[in-house]
Amino acid sequence: MDVLAIFLAITLTFLAMLHFYWAIFGIKDPERVVPAIGTDQRVKTPGKLAATFVGLVLLGFALVFLNKVILYLNFPWLSNISIGIAIIFLVRALGDFKYVGFFKTSKNSKFSALDTRYYSPLCLLMGILILVLELFS
């Protein structure tokens, strides 16, 4: 199960670094990473502060799973935090029924195609792997 925890920590760290990059340098191709209505009108472009906040949250999630390997904190409620993180990723995979997730209705943008092919399956996989890690270890 340590390999699974390390995989989750590395993936979450990579995603956090990506958000920090966007906060510092901006999003180079926003139509690929920001939900859009149709083909050209973005729902909302996140600012630098929002990207930094999401990066910090993802980095915090990574530390929770890194803790499963290194055991620098020994609190029994950390498994509840992990299950909460799994629920967050599973809800993200299902989506808001408009712009993100498997059940989105807006499907005419580059983001929606990439979300269906990569982003939502990654969230679903991570949610399932976190539940496997928590329930079977």
Taking CA atoms, 73 is separated from 8, 65, 69, 127, in Å, by: 18, 11, 11, 22
- What's phi and psi for 27, nearest 5 deg? -90, 120
Quote the pLDDT of residue 19.
97
Quote the pLDDT of residue 108.
87
**More confident: 87 or 39:** 87
DSSP string computed for 67-99: HHHH-----TTHHHHHHHHHHHHHHHHH--SSS
**More confident: 37 or 134:** 134
Quote the pLDDT of residue 103.
94
Domain of residue 28 covers 2-135
Q: Which amino acid is at 29?
A: D
DSSP annotation of 3 reads: H
- In this predicted structure, the answer to whether residue 22 has a pLDDT above a threshold of 70 is yes
The tens digit of pLDDT for each residue in 111-134 reads 999 999 999 999 999 999 999 999
Question: Is residue 43 helix, strand or coil?
Answer: coil
- In this predicted structure, the answer to whether residue 73 has a pLDDT above a threshold of 90 is no
Quote the pLDDT of residue 46.
87
Model pTM? 0.93
Structural domains counted in the chain: 1
- In this predicted structure, the answer to whether residue 39 has a pLDDT above a threshold of 80 is no
The tens digit of pLDDT for each residue in 47-70 reads 999 999 999 999 999 999 999 999
Give strand pairing partners of 41: 37
In the predicted model, what is the mean pLDDT of the chain?
93
d(CA 130, CA 137): 11
Task: Let me know: does 26 contact 101? Beta carbons within 8 Å.
Answer: no
